[in-house]
């Protein structure tokens, strides 16, 4: 067991102190990746259920839903009942929801960018140590050169290994956000149709009236 642990510990020591912030960045990447994926998939599933409920006109069932999007739609309907425009109310509420999702993705993008930069910083520090060892005339030159090269290569390797899954995960979250954007547009349309006196004749005027400037925040992520 000790021999099995010796190699990873030696690898960690050779990487130098920058492996600690790299480990923190790795934890943050996976935290925001998994949380963002769960939230986007949950919101997408909820939007689909709410749209089906609105199509069926099941207002009582909608009021029993407790999800974030369900609360938004219920608040929009309540504001509509007080004489406010349902489309503008939906834009306001969905804008806050989009900002919450965007915040997680922006943090994930930042962490994914920081990982290889920390690896590059470790490379520079390792090369400085290597050149300093070459410039000295002590008997430990070979070991110091080897230590500097190891630090340079290990930090670069770890930084890239952390960043690559983050880049793929970020692309996945952006695809999910575009999918949710389309679903929110459909959900807004169904919500606005509730205030029309005759939904059978409401499709034509609504096609030019429904705006997506708040929902479009997801598209810019």
18 SS3 class: coil
Q: Which residue has the tokens 């369900």?
A: 70
pLDDT value at position 218? Answer: 54
Our CA angle for 87, 90, 92, nearest 5°, is 110
User: Which tokens go with 115?
Assistant: 């990982």
Rounded to whole angstroms, the Cα distance separating 163 from 157 reads 10
Taking only the tens place, the pLDDT of each residue in 176-216 is 988 888 888 888 877 776 554 444 433 333 333 334 444 45
- How many Å is the Cα radius of gyration of the chain? 26
- Of 47, 36, 73, the closest CA to residue 184 belongs to 47
- What count of other Cβ atoms lies within 10 Å of the Cβ of residue 59? 12
- Of 168, 154, 164, 170, the closest CA to residue 120 belongs to 154
Rounded to whole angstroms, the Cα distance separating 38 from 43 reads 8
Rounded to whole angstroms, the Cα distance separating 13 from 133 reads 18
**pTM flag (> 0.85):** no
Surface-to-core class of residue 124, CB atoms within 10 Å of its CB (0-12 exposed, 13-18 middle, 19+ buried): exposed
Whether residue 188 contacts residue 68, with contact meaning beta carbons closer than 8 Å, is answered with no
Segment 44-48 mean pLDDT: 86
Say yes or no to pLDDT of 9 above 70: yes
Whether residue 221 contacts residue 174, with contact meaning beta carbons closer than 8 Å, is answered with yes
Taking only the tens place, the pLDDT of each residue in 113-132 is 999 999 888 888 888 877 77
């Amino acid at each position: 067991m000790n021999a099995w642990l010796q190699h990873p510990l030696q690898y960690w020591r050779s990487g130098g102190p920058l492996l600690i912030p790299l480990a923190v960045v790795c934890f943050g990447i996976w935290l925001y990746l998994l949380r963002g994926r769960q939230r986007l998939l949950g919101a997408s599933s909820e939007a689909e259920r709410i749209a089906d409920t609105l199509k069926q006109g099941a207002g009582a069932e909608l009021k029993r839903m407790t999800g974030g999007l369900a609360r938004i739609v219920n608040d929009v309907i309540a504001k509509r009942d007080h004489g406010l425009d349902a489309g503008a109310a939906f834009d306001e509420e969905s804008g806050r929801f989009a900002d919450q999702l965007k915040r997680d993705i922006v943090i994930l993008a930042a962490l994914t960018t920081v990982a290889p930069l920390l690896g590059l910083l470790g490379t520079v520090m390792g090369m400085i140590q290597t050149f300093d060892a070459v410039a000295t005339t002590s008997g430990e030159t070979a070991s110091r050169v080897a230590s500097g090269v190891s630090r340079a290569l290990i930090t670069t390797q770890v930084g890239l290994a952390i960043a690559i899954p983050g880049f793929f995960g970020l692309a996945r979250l952006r695809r999910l956000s575009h999918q949710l954007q389309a679903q929110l547009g459909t959900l807004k349309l169904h919500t606005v149709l509730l205030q029309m006196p005759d939904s059978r004749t409401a499709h034509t005027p609504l096609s030019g009236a429904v705006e997506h400037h708040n929902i479009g925040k997801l598209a810019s992520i």
